[in-house]
Chain A
Amino acid sequence: MDFFTIAIWVGTVVFLLVSFIKNKEKTKKALKMAFNMGKGMAKSIFAIIFAIGLILTFLPPEQIAEFVSNQPALIATVASALLGTITLVPAFIAFPLVGTLVNAGVGIMPSVAFLTTLTMVGVVTFPLEKEKFGLKFAAIRNGFSFLFAIIIAVVMGVFI
């Protein structure tokens, strides 16, 4: 567990205790609300998680890296942005992987595009985002994130 996760746990436990001392009824209501929220989202979250597991089996990140490294820069950038949207890997895997990409001579652009869409755009999280915020919101936010991932990648390619 990283520091921030621990901090959030500690902060929430303290908040919960203060809340309980101040108002028992309200705190009970909060816990009930939290439980219902969890129940409501559980199915979607498990669907997301198992979809990621499946995608990782068919498109292992290492294979993506290998594929991308054999393409010309522009195609590699768009391809890695697209591949980044369908996979969702944790940071501690993503950074070493992208580090390997850069060191292997893939170039900054595809690496950055991959890194940004990996985390910000999600095909697997899209159904849940749509349910919670509406189709238009989810489409616009993911669309812009994808577009700007490529813009950021190109600018970085020029800068570094």
Chain B
Amino acid sequence: MKVLKKIKENLFFVLVILAYIVVTLINPSMGLDSVKNSGYYIKEMLLIMPVIFILTALLDLWIPKDKIMKYLGKDAGLKGTFLAFVIGSISAGPIYAAFPMCVMLRKKGASTRNIVVILSSWAVIKVPMLLNEVKFLGLKFMIVRWILTVLAIILFSWLTDKMIKDKDYPEEIAKSSELTIDKKACMGCNVCVEQYPELFEMEGNKAIVKEHDENMLDMEKLKTTIEACPVKAIEYKK
């Protein structure tokens, strides 16, 4: 049973290995060619993935959740979409390089819409790619395709946002946005900061949630803090 479960978890990986074994048995040179073909992609991956992982982790630890929410969240509006396009377009590497970055952003409150924009523009509208396109297909071709692609991404990211609910995401992404402060309600009374200074701090005249480890929360302290807030602006969902 354990073996079966392992196989199921890594189904794609197992299938690829099996395919290689079968191909190599039938035609050894084809198996060898396939490995050779993979060479370029391994190089491409090694050039970009380590730095993407480090950058994602650094952004995760240094950029507070409410900043991500503000710039890429549901209410970020046009500016958020624009920023998402910029992030996707200046990035490097294949589309799967965007996955860890987008998981992190989504966890911190970026909207589905902006995640789709980042993923899609990461794939098709890279700036170095545009130059390549002009070289081989001409300027007019590139400009028309670029405009159409941007329009298409704007349209279908909006549609995707309508269709995907929070519960459709895997647990890893969904569970992290548990502790929030309603900014409109908060009147900056400082009570939460006094009650639980490790978790809350003031930014301007509003309280914000500090960077924290969800597993290290002092539940008792958090509960008293939530109750102490005079406008009930703190929400904690388990």
Q: Considering only CB atoms and an 8 Å cut-off, how many residues of chain B contact the other chain? A: 82
Residues of A contacting B116 with CB < 8 Å? Answer: 141
Residues of B contacting A33 with CB < 8 Å? Answer: 57, 60-61
- Greatest chain B CB density within 10 A among A4, A98, A115 is at A4
Q: Is B156 a contact of A95 with CB atoms below 8 Å?
A: no
Q: Is A137 a contact of B37 with CB atoms below 8 Å?
A: no
Asked whether A49 and B42 contact (CB < 8 A) given A9-B51, A128-B99, A136-B164, the answer is yes
Counting CB contacts under 8 A, is B149 at the interface? yes
Counting CB contacts under 8 A, is B54 at the interface? yes
Residues of B contacting A159 with CB < 8 Å? Answer: 144
Asked whether A38 and B49 contact (CB < 8 A) given A15-B58, A99-B136, the answer is yes
Asked whether A45 and B48 contact (CB < 8 A) given A16-B58, A50-B16, A56-B34, the answer is no
Q: Is B45 a contact of A45 with CB atoms below 8 Å?
A: yes
Q: Among B96, B123, B153, which residue has its beta carbon within 8 angstroms of that of A45?
A: B96
Counting CB contacts under 8 A, is A41 at the interface? yes
Residues of A contacting B99 with CB < 8 Å? Answer: 41, 128-129, 132-133
Write the chain B residue with the least CB distance to A2. Answer: B128
Counting CB contacts under 8 A, is B55 at the interface? yes
Q: Considering only CB atoms and an 8 Å cut-off, how many residues of chain A contact the other chain? A: 77
Q: Mark B86-97, 1 if CB is under 8 A from A, else 0.
A: 000011111110
Q: Mark A65-100, 1 if CB is under 8 A from B, else 0.
A: 000000000000000000000001011100110110
Majority DSSP secondary structure for residues of B touching A = helix
Q: Is A90 a contact of B11 with CB atoms below 8 Å?
A: no
Counting CB contacts under 8 A, is B221 at the interface? no
Give Cα A95 to B173, complex, Å: 36
A/B pair count, beta carbons within 8 Å: 220
Write the chain B residue with the least CB distance to A10. Answer: B51
Residues of B contacting A98 with CB < 8 Å? Answer: 136-137
- Greatest chain B CB density within 10 A among A7, A15, A43, A95 is at A95
Give Cα A96 to B16, complex, Å: 29
User: Which A residues from 1 to 59 make CB contacts under 8 A with B?
Assistant: 1-5, 7-9, 11-12, 15-16, 19, 26-27, 29-31, 33-35, 37-38, 41, 43-54, 56-58
Asked whether A34 and B56 contact (CB < 8 A) given A47-B12, A140-B163, A140-B164, the answer is yes
| 17 more CB-based (< 8 A) A-B contacts, given A43-B13, A132-B100 | A1-B47, A8-B52, A19-B58, A33-B60, A34-B56, A37-B100, A41-B100, A53-B36, A53-B37, A54-B34, A90-B40, A99-B136, A116-B149, A125-B96, A128-B12, A129-B96, A134-B170
Query: Can you sample 26 A-B contacts with CB below 8 Å?
Result: A5-B47, A7-B90, A9-B51, A29-B61, A30-B58, A34-B53, A41-B99, A43-B10, A47-B12, A49-B45, A50-B38, A52-B38, A91-B126, A95-B136, A99-B136, A99-B137, A132-B170, A133-B103, A133-B106, A136-B164, A137-B160, A137-B169, A140-B163, A141-B156, A151-B152, A159-B144
Residues of B within 8 A of A (CB): 10-13, 16, 19-20, 23, 30, 33-42, 44-45, 47-58, 60-62, 90-96, 99-100, 102-103, 106, 112, 115-116, 119-120, 123-124, 126-129, 132-133, 135-137, 140-141, 144-145, 148-149, 152-153, 155-156, 159-160, 163-164, 168-170, 173
Residues of A within 8 A of B (CB): 1-5, 7-9, 11-12, 15-16, 19, 26-27, 29-31, 33-35, 37-38, 41, 43-54, 56-58, 88, 90-92, 95-96, 98-99, 102, 108, 112, 115-116, 119-120, 122, 125, 127-129, 131-134, 136-137, 140-141, 144-145, 147-148, 151-152, 155-156, 159-160
